[in-house]
Amino acid sequence: MNSKLGLRSLLLLLVGGPLFLLLLIEMLVTFGIGLHVTNQVFDRWLLDSAYSLAQEVRQENGHLVLHADEAAIEVFEWDELDEVYFRVSTLDGRVLGGKSEAWVNPDISSLKQGPVFTNVKMGGEWVRSVTVLANPDSPNNSALVSVAETLHKRIPLSRTLMFEVVLSKAAMIIAALLVVAFALSRGIRPLLRLSQELANRSPRDLTPIKTMSAPKEVRTVIDNTNRLLERLDNAFSAREQFIGNISHQLKTPLAGIKLQAQLALRDNNLDTAHRALERICKTTDAMTHLNIQLLKLARAEAASGRGLRSEPVALDNVVREAAESLRELACDRRVQIHQNFTGAPPDGFKVSGDYFLLRELVWNLVENAILYVPEDGNVWVALTRNGSEIRLTVKDDGQGIPREHWPQIFERFFRSKISGEGCGLGLAIVREIAFAHGATVELQQATDTSGACFVCVFPAKSNSA
């Protein structure tokens, strides 16, 4: 479909093209019918002339003769435009009247069933001929009667008929296209108004578009556009709130760094200055961690908003690598990491997505479990496949998360445990990565432990993909 065409031109082409074709077919059919009727009229005159001559064939003194005087023959043969020929002969070829040379050789059995029409060439031009059998009920008195006429009257009449048909149908086509064009102009007017309103809008104007008096389809476009504007407004509001949260998160450590620096400058005690510098380093590490988490969250949001690099990823390998990378942290806290892969298919637990983002998702879930479980605790990471779904479960035997915090657990900067060292972005990153991969993640109540249990369900990658 040509994208350079406007909607009016495209609809006119889609409607006018088939309409023109249908009218063209109807014009040809009408012309064919008219031409058939015209030929029937002229053929009827030829047949009447042949039957008139056949009635003049009689038997006298044992011989067949044609009773027609010279004046009648002259009247019969006279025509202002066409040449008229006739021939009357016995069955054995004896000429009773007219031209001596026969231009047709009809079958007698066919003539007994009715007149025979043929197109033949005489004197270098085409003629229309009819042959009948005179006295068909009396074989001894039968004669062949042939009448032929040139096509001088038929051809101009056919051309006139064609011209009139073409002219009338062309006028009808033009009128129909004008009506269609007018209807299309009226029909797409609401779309043009909507386009003009959107073109004149400020980039900052996200207020809903007023529902105008328009067809149902245009109102559907307006409603969908308003829903898009509402989502954009919510996204911008969330982004502004996110920026405000970032400012708030950075304000406190920056103020602490400044305070510790002032204390170190005022106090001449090296031990006090050393402790202040240690606190500054610790606060700087926290800010660095926050900055890294913000970058990860931005990358996850970009993947869910603009699409991600999709490739086959073995989720069991991702779990093994994340667990191995976190083994040192687990050893420091004396936490055991248990891995369980149940019902592994022949091709493994393969999903379609970005390897590094999936590694970040698993890393955050396992790291959170290690950090918030008591020492000498346990963390279980399990993969199971159920039909077209792969389920990742990360749970621990810690104190769990209070039920009242569940609705907010995936929000940015929300921390259920105030004593934790995190910045409240880990689970928000997990949610964004899961959303980008078409997966769902939720906090569930485990049946075999009192700790937190996070379940992420991925669509499995098909073997043919």
Lowest mean pLDDT among 88-102, 151-165, 259-273, 330-344: 259-273
* Domain limits, the chain: 7-159, 308-459
Point out which residues pair with 396 in neighbouring strands. Answer: 379
| Selected residue with higher pLDDT from 257 and 411 | 411
In angstroms, what is the C-alpha Rg of the chain?
49
Tokens of 236: 């911008």
The reported pLDDT for the residue numbered 337 is 92
Tokens of 11: 């609809």
Q: 273 or 20: whose pLDDT is higher?
A: 20
pLDDT at 308: 61
Contact 319, 361 (CB under 8 A): no
Highest mean pLDDT, choosing among 38-52, 159-173, 261-275, 297-311: 38-52
d(CA 113, CA 110): 5
What is the arithmetic mean of pLDDT over 71-75? 65
Average pLDDT along the chain: 79
Please report which confidence band the pLDDT of residue 366 belongs to, taking 50, 70 and 90 as the band edges. Answer: very high
The first and second tokens of residue 62, run together, are 């044992």
Measured between alpha carbons, how far is 395 from 444 in angstroms, rounded to an integer? 9
Highest mean pLDDT among 30-34, 88-92, 409-413: 88-92
The reported pLDDT for the residue numbered 35 is 77
- At the topology level of CATH, where does 7-159 sit? Beta-Lactamase (3.30.450)
Domain at 308-459, CATH class: alpha beta
The pLDDT assigned to 252 comes to 64
> What is the spatial distance between Cα 130 and Cα 152, in angstroms, rounded to a whole number?
17
**Please, which residues have CB within 8 angstroms of residue 140's CB and are 6 or more apart in sequence?**
59
pLDDT of res. 418: 43
List, in order, residues 6 or more apart from 130 with CB less than 8 Å away. 43, 46, 47, 50, 115, 116, 117, 118, 146, 147, 148
For the record, the structure tokens of 195 come out as 């386009």
The residues facing 230 across adjacent strands are none
Q: What global pTM score does this model have?
A: 0.49
| DSSP, res 443 | E
